A and B are shown apart, each in its own frame.
Chain A
């Protein structure tokens, strides 16, 4: 790919100290490069560190070793420059703010001028189809609608990168599929780069241009699967032969059937030791 890289991860590892158990290696030896306009899913079993990896990209936690570069800058600088928007599994909306006020929050913090701000809010609420609910409070909305507000908020200041941490994990299957299509539409319209954490194989395959398959203990990227399904992806995509082939491919990669990386125990211990220091 010739597009410039938006996320560049090299030699990344992360260890946590667990009380009474010493250190736990959450992530080990991660190298990953994500280009502009890509939609990359991180998939793996629970405890494989996929959310931790996402949080490292967003500088919400610090790496033990290795580097994370976002938009050519170290991750902390990128965060300070508001280079990314983030959507968590829970909508994390403020109850005391209306829908539009929640979307306005990042614009307030950045200090966007009023005219741009209001135009942006209108535009974002149109994008997630919540225009008529702009004066509602979060408690008046369904879970899916709340998550759409959260997406509108993450996109409101036009970041280059969108980080999504199992955003639809709490939604029912039908809502989730509808949200998947909406996210793809938004992605196509904005040209934003997306890193998407999920534990749903169909979701990862349907959405992504690439799927990074991870394994647990320690969390590593064991396989990168290119998803060459044609776009735009629709209901038919989910019924196509190629889709099923790719779902199977990802599932097998998750099972560790092929392409598994050999573990370097010595290097891991060294990382753990550095983490302690």
Chain B
């Protein structure tokens, strides 16, 4: 166990060092040049704001939980819709001709334009409206990735299955679905980041105050930029946590895939 920790430290030490030096330089530059806080607050000021507003004041921690739930809900809804659409499109040629343009059109909607409408439709105070905004963003990368995984199966694999007189349902289960799994996980990785963006953008256009997007808007409007930065840092931490979770799932689900195998020889 200690061996593994040491190993981890050795591998990540350069990155950690660079990060620490970066923070130190930032701190020194801000205090020595007397940069005003509304341009860029010092790391120590941001840290203080974070601690001060963790559960009291702006309530960053409860806000992070709310925003996470919105993003996660959107991720689930968008993923299910994307999966369903990919399955239907891969199965029926006609469905592809009808649905694919619609899907592309949906993905082309500027999310900022859609957010107020979703707030209006699903209730500005309800988390559902933010989930829907996140889901719209998540839907497309999931659908397009899964669709590729289901359809881009090597011809030789299909020929092998034909030699076994396998039905198209069997080919779907035994070849297409496992083939699509790495694509799906790639879509999920993109989707987690987008879900968080969707949730925060939705919050910009109104909602309960205990949410990261609201904290950013409100602290900035009162020139409390230390709090704004603290909220941004927490938001990206939530995004990183979701991303890391998907990577863990990937390690477990597709250990055989090149993306997981990494540097091991083929």
Contacts and interface: CB of A to CB of B under 8 A. Distances in A.
Interface of A: 58, 60, 79-82, 84-86, 88, 90, 92, 94-96, 105-106, 108-110, 137-139
Contacts of B254: 96
Given A94-B175, A95-B257, A96-B178, A109 B156 contact: no
A228 B174 CA distance: 44
A50 B95 CA distance: 39
A145 to B, nearest CB: 13
A88 B160 contact: yes
Given A96-B181, A96-B254, A139-B256, A60 B266 contact: no
A137 B254 CA distance: 12
Nearest to A110: B164
A124 B165 CA distance: 22
B174 A105 contact: yes
B166 A86 contact: no
A84 B159 CA distance: 13
B232 to A, nearest CB: 40
B159 A139 contact: no
A86 B160 contact: yes
A105 B170 CA distance: 11
Interface residues of B, number: 22
Nearest to B170: A109
B256 A109 contact: no
Contacts of A86: 160, 163
Most chain A beta carbons < 10 A, residue from B162, B164, B254 = B164
A137 B257 CA distance: 10
Interface string B242-266: 0000000000001011100100101
A267 B165 CA distance: 34
Interface in B134-176: 154, 156-157, 159-160, 162-166, 170, 174-175
Contact of A84 (B154, B163, B170, B258): B163
A81 B154 CA distance: 24
Contacts, number: 52
A15 to B, nearest CB: 20
Nearest to A108: B174
Contact of B165 (A79, A108, A138): A79
Contacts of A95: 256-257
A82 B257 contact: no
Contacts of A82: 164-165
A173 to B, nearest CB: 22
A58 B266 CA distance: 31
A60 B162 contact: yes
B261 A139 contact: yes
Given A88-B159, A139-B256, A106 B164 contact: yes
A139 B164 CA distance: 24
Given A88-B156, A90-B156, A96-B254, A109 B164 contact: yes
3 smallest beta-carbon distances between A and B, as pairs: A96-B178, A80-B165, A92-B156
Contact of B266 (A88, A92, A105, A139): A139
Contacts of B266: 139
Contact of A94 (B157, B164, B170): B157
A64 B154 CA distance: 26
Given A88-B159, A108-B174, 16 more contacts: A58-B163, A60-B163, A82-B165, A86-B163, A90-B156, A92-B156, A92-B157, A94-B174, A94-B175, A94-B178, A95-B257, A105-B174, A109-B164, A110-B164, A138-B256, A139-B258
A215 to B, nearest CB: 26
A148 B48 CA distance: 65
Most chain A beta carbons < 10 A, residue from B165, B166, B264 = B165
A57 B166 CA distance: 18
Contacts of B166: 109
Nearest to A78: B165
A105 B178 CA distance: 14
Interface in B157-211: 157, 159-160, 162-166, 170, 174-175, 178, 181
A137 B256 contact: yes
Contacts of A110: 164
Most chain A beta carbons < 10 A, residue from B154, B170, B256 = B256
Nearest to B253: A96
A85 B160 CA distance: 9
B72 to A, nearest CB: 28
Nearest to A109: B164
9 contacts: A60-B162, A79-B163, A79-B165, A85-B163, A92-B159, A96-B178, A106-B164, A110-B164, A139-B258
Given A79-B165, A80-B165, A95-B256, A60 B178 contact: no
Contacts of A96: 178, 181, 254, 256-257
Contacts of B257: 95-96
Contacts of B178: 94, 96
A92 B160 contact: yes
